[in-house]
Structure 1
Amino acid sequence: MSSSAKIVLRKKPNAKGLYPLAIRITKNRRSIYKQLGHYIDLEDWDEQNIKVKKSHPNSKSLNSLISTKIAEARRSLIALQSESKDASARQIKTEIYRPTSSLTFFDYAKEHIEALEAEGKINRKYTDSAWLSFIERFHKSKQLTFQEIDERFLGKLKVFLKGKSSLTETSAMNVMVFIRLIYNRAIKDRVASKELYPFGNGRFKVKFPETVKIGLTKDEIGKFEAIQDLSSIERHSLNVWLFSFYFAGMRISDVLFTRWSQITDGRFNYRMGKNAKLLSLKIPEKAKALLKDYEVDKHSDDDFIFPEMKKADLDNPKDVYNKIKVATKKFNDNIKTITIKAKIRKKVTMHIARHSFGNIAGDAIHPLMLQKLYRHSDLKTTLNYQANFIHREADDALDSVINF
């Protein structure tokens, strides 16, 4: 059946109330649109003659652009018909607006992984390499163009990830986030077409399932602080956990990289490794008491407070990554034993120190201050995170109904 290309004014206004000019590609009574990137007032569009009215200040240049774009689209349609290609409207759009670059998704993904290693982001490198391996297993080919990554491809990939690969919904969505990251970079470099972007409104949605974040209560923290009869390695693991908690749930990598030189005039000054944000905090009395256990091994202000990184090759990101990984596992194993000894019936890991701070903070601390303590770049991130620990309004609402 025949196919056609026509300029239209889509009836979907932007925030300013202007309407987008677009090419409508139709095949078998099914249409798909490619916006031209220009918006005009409804009154400036001549529907009958399919052009911008003279009332628009840029009517001449816009009509020239329309003529050029519709001519290009129709030439491409003729070429497709001469090749006897029986393509759908979306496939026609793909053919017409196919980028000229030969770089594939896997080319861009490889560059991304290499850049992470060069920047010393080894943890991120291993994580993203794992997501990439799932895509390679699914596609079973070393060639994957950006045009092939459409909603159908993503849908089938998700089935593969949750089915044959047995990934959780969260992990499957992380794979999609990785694909979206690579695709956006290709669009920025004009290697992939923005018009074929498979994510967003009306297309594939990356939506993470809601999770429950559980932290310790004040009483449970008190049990940790008061516990006795621990081995030296258990005591050290608990000290690291508490140090993280006392400073609003510092990440384990930042804790292990803490040096004595960062402690001056009763304050702790450190730069967060994840986003390089600088923070200066008063050292709580509890943290001061904890630090005294490590002063005996202090040889200079440049020494690490905790011993795990003292033998690390700081010029070798892989060695640093491995030592942090080994230390974290050791801490988590010991914290599990300590949790049992303290008769706490929750699963506790190093990361739960951060959740515990959020749980106890609740809604008692202003979100802007929490944003500073958490070192979040966006207040929305803080609000979403803290919402996991604020239950009072919901509890009061429930009580108001059932307590009669």
Structure 2
Amino acid sequence: MTSNAKIVVRKKPNKEGLYPLAIRITKNRHSTYHYIGHYIDLKYWDGKNIRVRKSHPNSDRLNLLLSTKLSEANKMLIDLQSQQKDISANQIKKQLYSSPESTSFFEVANDFLHELELNNKLSRLSADKARVKHVLKFTKSKQLTFPEINETFLKRFQTYLRKKHNLSERSIVNNLVVIRTIYNRAIKMGVVDKKLYPFGATKIRIRFPESEKAGLTKEEVKKIESVTGLTENETHARNVWLFSFYFAGIRVSDVLKVRWDDIYDGRLHYRMSKNAKLLSLKIPDKIVPILKHYLDDKQSNTDFVFPELKKANLSDPKDIFTKSKTANKKFNKYLKQVASKAEVQKKITMHIARHTFGTISEDKIPINMLQKLYRHSSITTTINYQSNFIHKDTDDALDSVINF
């Protein structure tokens, strides 16, 4: 018997009460379904004429899509029949929709995210998963194809992020970077022709806006150091922040991994999580009181200095990441209270400890030495980072003109 394809609305609504559009493939009275990825209210479906009613706001686009999908399916069915292949409806569906060209954006995105997870790049995984979810919420379809991601699509997506989610320009760029990464991956897989690539000098250009990096001044740090009347949680958050600052802005995830046996010969020895670099830094005198504060809780030389990871499953990177992320959120909450009690107007977070070191160091430390302290792989990264905090030359130049 011949096989056939037909556009149908499946009677299985989603959480919003909308029904999925699908292509039904039938062979020998057995049917299987390929979901197109779009959902509609039943009142918009014209079952007699098998089309979306004109009253639907996107009827023209949806009907064009349905017509295209049905035409593609029938063409491939004719090709299969001409080869006299006696296969089932499910086998027909597999042959029709398993080609690379039918691979959706989200299928490639899921592979990309899974690879991040396998490589324990959990911080990036957490951020990029949210960005992929933004695309899904924007398109409302899991069947988004790469040819659909053109300049118009990307411009509309930027407007959506700006208006609907109130994202900063830097965050919007980060979302575009993830789409670009996944698109490049699809090109290498042969899923989409590189001629359709929507990014580039004459298309969508990704430009990172300059971000303001402002740390605390010496006077503000002194206020944080000397403030009294703190609760136990506020004191702990202040200690972790100062520990990070005194060591040139060690990231909070690395601070929490410091063990007592990492401290010997008057130095801190640790390996960075971000790039696995080994570091050895002198213990500043100001660190000593902080270490003494936690000495009574020390259970062994291999114990963590700070308590957040003491109950973590150290063989599970996800558990370590989750507990570190939770701790960072907790610290930032209490640092806000510390700042209020210290009468510091600037917002203080764990990450600001790194900016604060940059602000106070200004141009006092040679750039190659700052590269070592910041643990940057490239000195260019250090130059670009430190340029956010060096204002003396421009201030002097301004004064030389206007002070007359």
Normalization by structure 2: what TM-score?
A: 0.71
Give yes or no for the alignment of 1:218 onto 2:218.
yes
Q: How many residues align?
A: 307
**2: CA distance, partners of 1:127 / 1:267:** 34
**1: CA distance, partners of 2:309 / 2:124:** 19
Aligned 8 A contact 2:294 2:305 in 1 = yes
The equivalences for 1:263-302 within 5 A come to 263-302=263-302
Letter in 1 for 2:249: G
SS at match of 2:280: strand
Shift of 1:288: 2.5
Shift of 1:102: 4.0
**2: CA distance, partners of 1:326 / 1:142:** 31
**1: CA distance, partners of 2:100 / 2:124:** 31
Shift of 1:350: 1.1
Structural RMSD (CA): 2.0
Question: Which residue does 1:174 correspond to in 2?
Answer: 174
Letter in 1 for 2:199: F
Aligned 8 A contact 1:123 1:321 in 2 = yes
Give yes or no for the alignment of 1:155 onto 2:150.
no
SS at match of 1:163: helix
Aligned 8 A contact 2:294 2:306 in 1 = yes
| Change over 3 Å in CA distance of 1:323–1:342 after alignment to 2 | same
- Gaps of at least 5 residues in structure 2 are 1-74, 76-98
Shift of 1:117: 2.6
**1: CA distance, partners of 2:350 / 2:241:** 6
| Change over 3 Å in CA distance of 1:190–1:370 after alignment to 2 | farther
Aligned 8 A contact 1:358 1:386 in 2 = yes
SS at match of 2:346: coil
Range with greater deviation from structure 2 (116-125 or 243-252): 116-125
**1: CA distance, partners of 2:375 / 2:338:** 29
Question: Which residue does 1:362 correspond to in 2?
Answer: 362
Letter in 2 for 1:223: K
SS at match of 1:389: coil
Question: Which residue does 1:259 correspond to in 2?
Answer: 259
Aligned 8 A contact 1:121 1:317 in 2 = no
**2: CA distance, partners of 1:368 / 1:313:** 38
Shift of 1:385: 1.4
Shift of 1:391: 0.6
Aligned 8 A contact 1:245 1:356 in 2 = yes
The equivalences for 1:117-196 within 5 A come to 117-196=117-196
| Change over 3 Å in CA distance of 1:316–1:219 after alignment to 2 | same
Shift of 1:382: 1.6
**1: CA distance, partners of 2:377 / 2:195:** 30
Identity of aligned residues (%): 54
**1: CA distance, partners of 2:220 / 2:235:** 17
Question: Which residue does 2:309 correspond to in 1?
Answer: 309
Shift of 1:398: 1.0
Aligned 8 A contact 2:170 2:211 in 1 = no
Normalization by structure 1: what TM-score?
A: 0.71
**2: CA distance, partners of 1:170 / 1:296:** 44
The equivalences for 1:4-403 within 5 A come to 101-403=101-403
Shift of 1:100: 5.6
Shift of 1:101: 4.8
**2: CA distance, partners of 1:312 / 1:260:** 17
Shift of 1:256: 0.6
Aligned 8 A contact 2:215 2:355 in 1 = yes
